[in-house]
Amino acid sequence: MSPIKEIIINKKTDVNPIWIMRQAGRYLPEFREIRKQNTDFIKLCLNETLSSEITLQPLKRFDFDAAIIFSDILMVPYGLNQKIEFKKNFGPILGELDFNQVLNLNEDDFVQKINPVYKAINLVNKNSLTNNKSTIGFIGAPWTLLVYMINKKSPKLKLADDFFKDQALIKMILEILDQYLKIHIKHQVKNGAEVIQIFDSWAGLLDDKDLLKYIYNPTSSLVEYTKSLNVPTICFPRGVKNYESYCEIVKPDVICIDYEVDPTIIEKTIKIPVQGGMDPKILLTNKENLKKEAKKYLDIFKDHPYIFNLGHGVLPETDPNMMDYLVKMVKDY
């Protein structure tokens, strides 16, 4: 059993498991080589040979305990026929959502459109590099996908003033997302994903009064569904203020915290395994500082089931040697 599954199931392990969000990506020169020749990001995600190769790149360099599939949370809107393109230095741009098309869609059409993602998971899972490691699949949480699908681009710091004006539209999108995210989870699991991480990147944009409707209830439906497949979930509600309420209502197996959260409070108030926390910018400093910061998290959670990770994705300007140092340090702790 991989150390990550061991922590989730038995709440303890002999080693400190570590994997990093966006560990397969822009900080690795071998990834940049592939990206240079494949400028269309969506096409790259839908090339199972390349996306599985990218997923495995960090495992060839570092002793991570998991492979997280190289894909994107926007694969679901793409599978629903919403046009998506990634603009350099800007991020994703989404087209209009055609509800006639969506309502005429069935599971087979959807799966066919993003099938290379599942094929890539299968390839990764069968590779010897993932022996005794967890293969992690993922989805975007309904709220975060709703934000992209309505806003049509990254909201950055706040939602448009009229974001909530069409409640019927919002209800319809959330119902569609619940259906197709479950299909997406099912096919990832069928192809070898042993853990599903749910990314709620824009959870921090909501007021407390709206959390139940847009975050707790929709995410809890997906967590329950994933558990029914005997697969654990890690939830990352970035920017959420009250992790205790989130865990009580959503019931993930692991809660992933961002770098603005006080880990000492989490350690005292959260009963389930915890993941993440360290600011990715620490990897841009020096080894002494990196050791101090990483040790801080390891010390705080030394008697709590903990998976080492960052409080957000690894930054593109990170030196791979610093990552190597971090992984070895966590393993030797």
The pLDDT, as a whole number, for residue 22 is: 97
**Distance of alpha carbon 193 from alpha carbon 4, whole angstroms:** 13
Q: 115-145 pLDDT, tens per residue? A: 999 999 999 999 999 999 999 999 999 999 9
**Distance of alpha carbon 119 from alpha carbon 49, whole angstroms:** 9
Alpha helices in the chain (DSSP H): 3-10, 29-37, 41-45, 48-61, 75-79, 99-103, 107-126, 142-151, 167-190, 211, 217-228, 243-250, 263-269, 287-300, 320-332
The DSSP 8-state label assigned to residue 213 in this structure reads: I
Q: 175-214 pLDDT, tens per residue? A: 999 999 999 999 999 999 999 999 999 999 999 999 999 9
Judge contact between 151 and 161, C-beta under 8 A: no
Residue 26 CB partners (closer than 8 Å, separation 6+): 32, 35, 316
CA distances from 279 to 21, 154, 206, 249, 295 (A): 12, 21, 22, 27, 13
Q: Which stretches in the chain have pLDDT values below 50?
A: none
Residue 224 CB partners (closer than 8 Å, separation 6+): 251
Residue 195: Cβ within 10 Å count: 25
Judge contact between 86 and 104, C-beta under 8 A: no
Among residues 59, 206, 74, 92, which one has the least CA distance to residue 140?
Answer: 74
Q: Which domains occur in the chain, in start order?
A: 3-332 (3.20.20.210)
**Distance of alpha carbon 79 from alpha carbon 81, whole angstroms:** 5
Judge contact between 238 and 205, C-beta under 8 A: no
The DSSP 8-state label assigned to residue 18 in this structure reads: B
Among residues 95, 101, 50, 41, which one has the least CA distance to residue 73?
Answer: 41
SS3 per-residue string spanning 79-121: HCCCCEEEECCCEEEECCCCHHHHHCCCHHHHHHHHHHHHHHH
The pLDDT, as a whole number, for residue 101 is: 85
Judge contact between 287 and 322, C-beta under 8 A: yes
Sheet bearing 254-257, strands edge to edge: 66-68, 134-140, 195-200, 233-237, 254-257, 274-276, 306-307
Q: Is the dihedral of CA 187, 190, 192, 195 positive or negative?
A: positive
User: Mutual orientation of helices 107-126 and 48-61 as an angle, nearest 10°?
Assistant: 30
